[in-house]
Amino acid sequence: MTRIILINLLLILAPFLFYAAYILIEKKPETRQDFWQFIPLKKLLIIGFVLMGIFYLTQITFGTSVKDGIYHPATVKDGKIVPGYIEPAEKQNSQ
């Protein structure tokens, strides 16, 4: 869940960060007030949400999916962490 929140924040903030870097490099504002006058907040926020939408569409379209199977969560055995895995449906039927 933390990863999802961080990805969303990064996608929304990316346009702001790139535009702020552009303003600092190219226009070189002398005061903070001058800096904030250059930033079109609505446009950058819309661009961030569009990036987030594109990200989710590509994840849905090209992401991997497991149609059948049982998820076995990560466990601790003999003091070592055994990562979680998905047991495919073919193995389930053969048992």
- 42 and 3 in a common domain: yes
- 59 and 72 in a common domain: no
Map the chain to HEC letters. CHHHHHHHHHHHHHHHHHHHHHHHHHHCCCCHHHHHHHCCHHHHHHHHHHHHHHHHHHHHHHCCCCCCEEEECCEEECCEEECCEEEEHHHHHHC
- 48 and 17 in a common domain: yes
Structural domains of the chain, count:
2
Q: What is the pLDDT of residues 16-65, one digit of tens each?
A: 999 888 888 888 878 878 777 778 888 999 999 999 999 889 888 887 66
Domain that holds residue 72: 66-95
- 51 and 94 in a common domain: no
- 59 and 70 in a common domain: no
- 59 and 48 in a common domain: yes
pLDDT of residue 50: 93
- 56 and 18 in a common domain: yes
Looking at the predicted structure, is the pLDDT value of residue 66 above 90?
A: no
pLDDT of residue 54: 92
